[in-house]
Amino acid sequence: MTTPNMNLTLPVVSQTPGPTWASDINADLSVIDEHNHTSGKGALVPVAGLDINSDLSLATHALTDVTKAVLLDQLLVLTANAVYAVGGDLYWTNGSGQAVQITSGNTIAVGATGNIGGLPSGVAAVDYDDLVFAYRFKDSVGANAGIVVGPVVSNRVTIDSVSIDTPVGVSTYQLTVASALPVNTSFLTCTSTGQIGYTSQTNGVTRPMLSVVGQQISTFTSNTVTGAGNMLLPITIQTTGRPVFVGFTNAVGDAQANTISLDDTSGANFVNATVAVAISSASPPPGFTAGNYLKNKISGYVSATSSPVQVPASSISGIVVLPAGTYTMQCVLTALTGTGSPQFSMTGSLFAYEL
Cβ neighbours for 193, distance < 8 A, ≥ 6 positions apart: none
Query: Whole-model pTM?
Result: 0.44
Question: CA-CA distance, 105 to 120, in Å (whole number)?
Answer: 16
Q: Is the pLDDT of residue 343 over 80?
A: yes
Tell whether 54 is covered by a domain.
no
Mean pLDDT across 276-294: 87
The secondary structure of residue 205, as a DSSP letter, is: S
Instruction: Name, of 38-42, 45-49, 74-78, 302-306, the range with top average pLDDT.
Output: 302-306
Provide the b/e sequence for 264-283 (b: ≥16 CB within 10 Å): beeeebbbebbbbbbbebee
Q: Which amino acid is at 89?
A: D
* The pLDDT value given to residue 160: 58
* The pLDDT value given to residue 147: 80
The secondary structure of residue 9, as a DSSP letter, is: B
Tell whether 227 is covered by a domain.
yes
How does residue 113 score in pLDDT terms, banded at 50, 70 and 90? very low
The H or E element that residue 123 is part of is none
342-354 and 221-225 beta bridge pairing:
antiparallel
Higher pLDDT, 167 or 63: 63
> What residues make up the domain containing 329?
215-354
Tell whether 95 is covered by a domain.
no
Mean pLDDT across 31-42: 69
Least confident of 194-203, 248-257, 267-276: 248-257
173-207 pLDDT, tens digit each: 777 888 888 888 888 888 888 888 888 776 555 55
* The pLDDT value given to residue 337: 92
Q: Is the pLDDT of residue 333 over 70?
A: yes
Phi, psi at residue 298, to the nearest 5°?
A: -120, 125
In three-state secondary structure terms, 271 is strand
Tell whether 26 is covered by a domain.
yes
- C-beta separation of 288 from 254 below 8 A: no
Tell whether 15 is covered by a domain.
yes
Cα 299 from chain centroid? 63
Mean pLDDT across 95-102: 84
The H or E element that residue 278 is part of is strand 269-280
Q: Is the pLDDT of residue 322 over 80?
A: yes
Region of 2 on the Ramachandran plot (φ > 0 left; ψ -120 to 50 alpha; else beta): beta
Question: CA-CA distance, 193 to 92, in Å (whole number)?
Answer: 54
Bridge partner residues of 24 (DSSP) = none
* The pLDDT value given to residue 139: 76
Task: Indicate the number of domains in the chain.
Answer: 2
Q: How far apart are the first and last CA of the chain?
A: 127
Tell whether 73 is covered by a domain.
no
* Radius of gyration in angstroms for the set of CA atoms belonging to the chain, rounded to a whole number: 53
Tell whether 100 is covered by a domain.
no
Least confident of 61-65, 270-274, 313-317: 313-317
In three-state secondary structure terms, 342 is strand
82-94 pLDDT, tens digit each: 999 998 889 988 8
Question: CA-CA distance, 74 to 92, in Å (whole number)?
Answer: 12
Tell whether 240 is covered by a domain.
yes
